[in-house]
Structure 1
Amino acid sequence: ASLKGAHISVPSIFKAFPLSLRKIFFVLSKLVVYGFLILLAYYGYLVLTLITGETLVTLEWVPQTFVQSVIPIASCLFILSETLRIPEDYRNLVLQTSGVEQTGDI
Structure 2
Amino acid sequence: MLDTVRRFFEGVLENFVIFLMVILTAVVVVAVIYRLIGSSLAWYDEVAAILLAWITYYGSALAVLRRRHIGFDSVLLSIRMPLRMWAVALAEAITAGFFVLLAWAGYTVMTILGGMSLVSITWVPVSFTQSVIPIGATLFVICQVLSLPEYWRKTARGVSLEHAEIEEEVETEMKKAGNA
TM-score relative to the length of structure 1 = 0.90
1:101 correspondence with 2:126: no
Give the residue type in structure 2 aligned to 1:55.
S
Residue 32 of structure 1: aligned partner: 94
CA radius of gyration, larger in: 2
Is the contact between residue 64 and residue 143 of structure 2 (CA under 8 Å) also seen in structure 1? yes
Which contiguous aligned blocks of 4+ residues in structure 1 show a shift greater than 2 angstroms?
Answer: 99-103
Write out per-residue CA displacement over residues 8-46 of structure 1, whole angstroms, 9 at most, x where no aligned residue: 212122111111110110110011001100000000000
Is the contact between residue 73 and residue 161 of structure 2 (CA under 8 Å) also seen in structure 1? no
Unaligned runs of 5+ in 2: 1-62, 166-180
Residue 107 of structure 2: aligned partner: 45
Residue 76 of structure 2: aligned partner: 14
Deviation at 1:83? Answer: 0.3
User: How many equivalent pairs are there?
Assistant: 103
Is the contact between residue 40 and residue 75 of structure 1 (CA under 8 Å) also seen in structure 2? yes
**Structure with the bigger percentage of helix:** 2
Is the contact between residue 54 and residue 63 of structure 1 (CA under 8 Å) also seen in structure 2? yes
Q: Which has the higher contact order (CA 8 A, sep 6+)?
A: 1
TM-score relative to the length of structure 2 = 0.54
Q: Name the SS for the 1:53 alignment partner.
A: coil
User: Identity of counterpart residues, as a percentage?
Assistant: 36
Give the residue type in structure 1 aligned to 2:65.
L
Unaligned runs of 5+ in 1: none
Residue 74 of structure 1: aligned partner: 136
- The equivalent position to 2:150 in structure 1, one of 88, 96, 101, is 88
CA RMSD of aligned residues (A): 1.5
- Whole-Å Cα distance in 1 between the matches of residues 123 and 91 of structure 2? 42
Deviation at 1:49? Answer: 0.8
